[in-house]
Amino acid sequence: MSDEPETTTSDFWKGLWKNGDIGWHRNEVNAFLIKYFDELTGGRSNLRFFVPLSGKSVDMLWLADKGHTVVGVELAKQANEDFFAENNLTFTVESVEMSAVSEPVEVYKCTEKKITIFCCDLFAMTENDVGGRFDAIWDRGSLSAIAPSFGDRGKRYTTKMHSLLASGGNYLLESCYYEVDRGMNPPASIPDEQINEMYEEHFTIKKLEVNKIQPNLDIKLSFALDMKHYLFKPKVN
């Protein structure tokens, strides 16, 4: 019997989407994505953006409306279909062979905008599957969702992000830190020391901002936390 935490399984996340238990979702564009957008893009246009664990985030729509190409990955089919339905977008679905998995995966392609969403495990993604490396990564809580403290998942995650980011690209991360013991329940509490351990091999690290968030039952937050934002750049070998 596997000792893998339930919160790292696909069934756990699919169940949350099926039951509508998605307290992390926001109906507005992330304020810190807007605030640090110029740093993330470096003032460049027509970039390829990667949004890991994209859910039904309206950030994807905002990025596409800025003229960028957006690729998300989300294993919950419910989330992908909700994204298109709630934004009045049409889409096509095709089955695509992937390098790292034996079964084809469904890929959703928006008809009106440059948005593509892979319905699969994030760790299955390779640059060959997505047409090359990305110019920018917007990680709003994806790291916090994958239980980075379990085994080598954190290091595997940052290595995966490095493999998908172009050498001149930028990576904006939103994560959180709190002092309540919640086991492996998401979102993970990630101290600065752990960020350094996971990222310093492949990236330079710039801590942008820390905001203290108080408990708010409207968004199902029962404890205080620090919301943190970092900008990473791939190290030059």
Domains with residue ranges and CATH for the chain: 28-234 (3.40.50.150)
Contact between residue 51 and residue 71 where contact means Cβ atoms under 8 Å apart? yes
Of residues 235 and 219, the one with the higher pLDDT is 235
Measured over the CA atoms of residue 134, residue 164, residue 228 and residue 226, the dihedral's sign is positive
Q: Cβ neighbours of residue 39 under 8 Å, at least 6 residues apart?
A: 170, 172, 208, 231
130-139: pLDDT as tens digits = 999 999 999 9
Looking at the predicted structure, is the pLDDT value of residue 231 above 60? Answer: yes
37-90: pLDDT as tens digits = 999 999 999 999 999 999 999 999 999 999 999 999 999 999 999 999 999 999
What's the N-to-C CA distance of the chain in angstroms? 41
Calculate the dihedral angle through the C-alpha atoms of 65, 209, 180, 8, rounding to the nearest 10 degrees.
40
What is the distance between the alpha carbons of residues 136 and 172, in angstroms, rounded to a whole number?
Answer: 8
Enter the pTM of the model. Answer: 0.94
What CA–CA distances, in Å, run from 184 to 96, 101, 140, 189, 220? 32, 26, 18, 9, 17
pLDDT in the model for residue 215? 87
pLDDT over 90 percentage in the chain: 80
